[in-house]
Structure 1
Amino acid sequence: MTASPPPVPPDTGLTDAPPAEVRPGEVDFQLVQRTIAGDQKAFELLVIKYQRRIERLIGRMVRDVNLVEDIAQETFIRAYRALHQFRGEAQFYTWLYRIAVNTAKKALVDMKRDPTVSESALRSSSEDEDETYRPGNEPISDETPESVMAANEIAAAVEAAMEALPAELRQAVTLREIEGMSYEEIAEVMNCPIGTVRSRIFRAREAISARVKPLLDNQSGKRW
């Protein structure tokens, strides 16, 4: 008697293979392509994803909160009109960042103002991501009047040092320390070699450290 073959399980369409890994930026690129194809909701998702980050960037440049929203809106309008130029060779935010910077600079030139980095640029990226963060809301459990005063003096010194930096050094160190961009991304944004980026960031850090060092004499080995 011949044994019957085992029953074939129904095809569920599921496999044991792990899901394909999504590369960084691939989702953004797909949203861009969907937008170009006419899917307006796809661009709305991009706006939702990057609006706060772009507004923080612009706020560090223009300092006038009344202008931030308008410039951010103009940034996304320009980005929408230029989407066909985005090839996915760089991260979408890197591409959008350049548009935001150029839009803010144009607005400042129109108003005859100098683009600078405001005090908000001194906050860490983690603070920027906190919706509830406001100046003065930092933990105070271990604070003393002396430590608060020292912290304020250091913050003021860092801000003054940032303000005194040449524009290209200030932008480079802001992109690295505040925006968290890689050296490659900064080179793309600033349109210069990676070696130049490293040099600018090093010089910026040295200048800031020299300004802050006298305040840190009691904290040996610590730098900003």
Structure 2
Amino acid sequence: MDDEGRLIDEALEGSDDAFCRLVRIHQGRVRTFLIRYVHRPDLVDDLAQEVFLTAYHSLRTFKKDAPLGIWLLGIARHQALRHLRDEGRRRARESGRLRAILAAFQAEEAERGADDETAFEREMAALQDCLKDLPGESSQIVTEHYFQGRSLVSLAGEMGRKEATLRVTLLRIRASLRRCVQGKLSVEGAG
């Protein structure tokens, strides 16, 4: 029996030390595999930890005639795909915030008895005007985050800022857009 097979047997018998040695043997390959999926070094440690935690709890299901490394990469693939699905849902929620601002405008217009189609067109035109008036960096943040789907983590790294700071900046930009659109609509309504 080779060393890896012996370590697997010991880990199955409850040896945490043997499992830790298996982790050390395979962690480089698992991390390299994960970075190809998520393209974010900051996430690789967390995902690798999840992979080995899952492997630890599922070790009894491992078939000893198969290579352990391949089994671990299968777990890594599932973890990476799960993360990417979750990240996609999070992005969809965040991009929905701009739509939520528009929905609030539409609700206000509907309460005033305005024709929905005409109100929507006016709101979209006002929003487009307001987007054009945004200063360069604000315009870049809105365009790249909402229209190109870039994550705040990615943008923050590129801009040399913290994600939390960028999130607050985006909150302020949305508030500014809301005020701008409301201002344009009220001027239009008064005219």
User: Whose radius of gyration is greater, 1 or 2?
Assistant: 2
TM-score (norm 2): 0.45
TM-score (norm 1): 0.38
Whichever structure has more helix as a proportion of its residues is: 2
